[in-house]
Chains A and B, each alone.
Chain A
Amino acid sequence: MPNQSPPTRYSAVAQGFHWIIAALIVVQFSLGWTAEFLPIGARKLARLDWHKSFGMTILTLAVLRLLWRLFNRPPELPPGMTKFERQAARATHVLFYVFLFVMPLTGWMMSSAKNYSVSWFHQFTWPNLIGPNEQAFNLLRSTHDTLSWLLFAVAILHILAALKHHFWNKDDVLKRMLPFTKSEKRS
């Protein structure tokens, strides 16, 4: 069917990507931010070990998600949104995709620069992206750290916007991303 009309809900695949990655990001924040306050030692190493394995999982999912997204259009934004709201929504979503790549990549490069190769749950080791370099590590570390705060801010904005759509506008923007719900068909 050529002129297929856009879907009214996010598909199961889109929802799967969204919620699995969202959950992993929550895990990443709790591991990353708590590891930062631990002294150098076995506990910090173990926590960052998990952080790296989950980070590489997110990066892999991000690649798959982007590929999938290129061939599958999402449902359209509800009518009645202003131009600014549409642009803000679009910008937020684009930013999320950027974060999904930049966060793991800066983390991966950080590990490489410090000569700590990244393992994936002790199953295999990813290649180093750059050679050992302390200056590069310090720069990447502050970048990774700053971006984590930005991601946190964008995530809060995203959540507030979804809640505003649901409770204030009373549209199906939130519901169509929720499994086990039904969205009303728009004509």
Chain B
Amino acid sequence: MIRKGGPFFLLVSLAVALGACTEDPFLAVDSESAPGVATPTLEIYLEAGELPTWRDTTYWGFVVPNSASFSLLSDREELRARTLGRFSTIPDSVFVDTARLAIDRFTAARIRLSVDSALSELPTDSVVLSAWTLSRSFDADEATWERARVGEPWTTPGGDLETLLGADTFSFEVDSLGVLIDTAVVRFEGNVDSLLTAWRDSEGEPGFAVVLTGPGGILRTSVMSLVAEAVPEGLDTTVTIVRGAIPGTFIFDPPTPQPTTRLRLAGLPSARYYLDFTLPDSLGFIPLRGSTINRATIEFRPTSAPAVPFELQADIFAQAVRLLADPFVFGEKTPIGSPLGGQELLRPDSLASGNIMEYDITSLVRLWSLANADSVPPLRVGVVPIPENRQFGFWEFFSAEDGPGLRPVVHLLFTPNPTFLLP
């Protein structure tokens, strides 16, 4: 029976095998001539003025000189800057071996500055660094070139210098090993023990200032510390103690310009810009909400460089972040959420050439597109510098209040839902 039916079982197997074949798709040459539903992927630029609503603003003060990671020293005409501080943690005892001994006296002291030679504009000629006591206390968060604190101006703008503690001349050149000098030390003259004891008893009040005198560079210092030699009671030796300036800040002139209607990023006080906008549900008769958002960005056109000395000096990053509340209600205190895209590099030379900054907001617009009509999320974005505490300079971008062609733009790449039809 099997022998007789063999050819037929073979045919059955053949037909079943053919029947089980997966159909190979046809290859079409182009979208328009291919059968089936075609829905184009559309690209659109929507300027702030073309959107149903758009609000933008700059908030600043997120970082002030007191909380910045650097200080400036300068004696340039376009920028004068001095460092202020207090050594408020000078100890009255030290550890020697395993014992803590009271300090009998201080024999020497100096202020040590760590210079960020990569970001400083090192003076080409010799400059003098001097350390002074202040005759007026200052509030580190409020002190400026003009005032010691709010409502209390310096007698002399730039800080009320009282007694010269020490001075030295520096020439920032490469040493014999070809390495740039990155530390400057100003030794205290006079009765060091009396000075440090007074600072210890008064928690550093009223403070000190470090002043750079001489044309040329701008020194950017990252760490400022007191290095003192102390003699413990009952011992004939000295112990070196090191203390940082707490608080430590710097004051400068001219002050950073107030933000205008332009959108500012970075600077000191550090600035961010926040915006809040709505997208149209449809563009003409093409539905936008409900479409697949392939890519969405917001673009900002840079203005020309800020006036010296406030132009951005080095590359920084910036990032678009979600805003968790209405920035026009909560202002600077608006809570920020997760990042919306990657960090974008801001290069001063590129910005000066007018190159547009673009931030990816695809995830935000995608949520908006997918939301039900009764729960459409607001489109709120903040642009923040990263890191925020390292830039003295800033850059500004045109806002919605500028003219057409300059205003921020929402750049969308989207694919409307296919309109599936039967013939």
Partners in one complex: no
A residues lining the B interface (CB < 8 Å) = none
B residues lining the A interface (CB < 8 Å) = none
